[in-house]
Amino acid sequence: MDGNRLRDEIVASLRQEIEAASQAAVCLATVLVGNDKPSQIYVRNKHRKAQEAGMVSRHVELAQNATQTEVQSAVRELADDDSVHGILVQLPLPAGVDVEAVLDLIPPEKDVDGLTERSMGRLLRGRVGHVPCTPLGVMELLNRYGIETSGRRAVVIGRSTLVGLPQVLLLGRKGCDATVTLAHSRTKDLAALCRKADIIIAAAGMAGLVTADFVSPQATVVDVGISRTAAGIVGDVDFDSVQEVAGAITPMPGGTGPMTIGCLLKNTLAAARMLGAFPR
């Protein structure tokens, strides 16, 4: 399942929509605190793709030693600015910065990363709001590749609020209708559990965790994990052995990462609509 191709399709279709409504400037703002290299790369890619989609993008960068007050006032300024529609605070923030206090300042309409407690509450309650981009990107991949979820058994490996927990909610909610098991580091005999699954979503951050013996023939395997090794970026899935067994599989890189960006941009256009700044 080719995430790069789907991301390019999403970007092209957003561009068309934005160009068709020529008066509307859709703006994504990012906040980056500190000098974490992967975060710098992620933010740069998000801006590049936002511009390709015809969006305006703003970037606020603060030093590694920025104070809580400085980070909060940067986010508050973007929250109060009517020309900004989506706000993304790149995580992780440096140690010592209270993440929750920062996220609390993002209004739910502008929370295009879907990570604030109000967005999470909306997802749980089935109300309109933004859904975290990575699990949303996984759903889009499954959907676009025609992977049936209804009545299927899914295992999600990882229980973070960023990926695993919202993934479980999305797969299990009405309309998607998978029967979902949430696995984590205390799960016993993960391989046997996964072998019973039609769909495996691996989001543990442990290189090569999912091997061929985890996968039943023709199962769908989606790799979210990212590990930086001497050999480059690798996922949670041992791609070479698993592709021999799986019916569908994502590469890493080139699978869920680009879909995360595609969904961030979709959320940003949705944010502009929610705020009445873009025609419905």
Catalytic residues: 46, 90, 113
Confirm or reject binding of residue 262 to ligand NAP (CB under 6 A): no
Count CB atoms within 10 A of the CB of residue 244. 10
Q: 121-140: which residues touch ligand NAP (CB under 6 A)?
A: 134
Among 89, 139, 163, 264, binds ligand NAP (CB under 6 A): 163
Among 130, 152, 159, 266, binds ligand NAP (CB under 6 A): 159
Confirm or reject binding of residue 184 to ligand NAP (CB under 6 A): yes
Segment holding 5, helix H or strand E: helix 3-20
Residue 225: name the closest of 146, 151, 157 by CA. Answer: 157
> Applying CB under 6 A, which part among 16-24, 58-66, 79-87, 197-205 lies near ligand NAP?
197-205
- Characterize 30-52 residue by residue with b for buried, 16 or more Cβ atoms within 10 angstroms of its Cβ, and e for exposed: bbbbbebeebeebbeebbebbee
Site string for ligand NAP, 217-256 (x = CB under 6 A): -------xxx-----------------------------x
- What ranges in 90-216 are assigned the alpha helix state H? 99-103, 117-125, 133-144, 164-172, 190-195
Confirm or reject binding of residue 205 to ligand NAP (CB under 6 A): yes
The residue (of 55 and 202) whose beta carbon lies closer to ligand NAP is 202
Confirm or reject binding of residue 115 to ligand NAP (CB under 6 A): no
- What ranges in 196-276 are assigned the alpha helix state H? 239-242, 256-274
Residue 102: name the closest of 58, 70, 71 by CA. Answer: 71
Site string for ligand NAP, 138-157 (x = CB under 6 A): -------------------x
Rounded Cα distance between 29 and 13, Å, is 21
Confirm or reject binding of residue 194 to ligand NAP (CB under 6 A): no
Count of positions on this chain that bind ligand NAP (CB under 6 A):
25
Residue 189: strand, helix, or coil: coil
Contact 130, 107 (CB under 8 A): no
Query: At closest approach, how far in Å is the CB of 235 from ligand NAP?
Result: 8
Residues at the site binding ligand NAP, with contacts judged by CB under 6 A: 134, 157-160, 162-164, 183-187, 190, 203-206, 209, 224-226, 256-257, 260
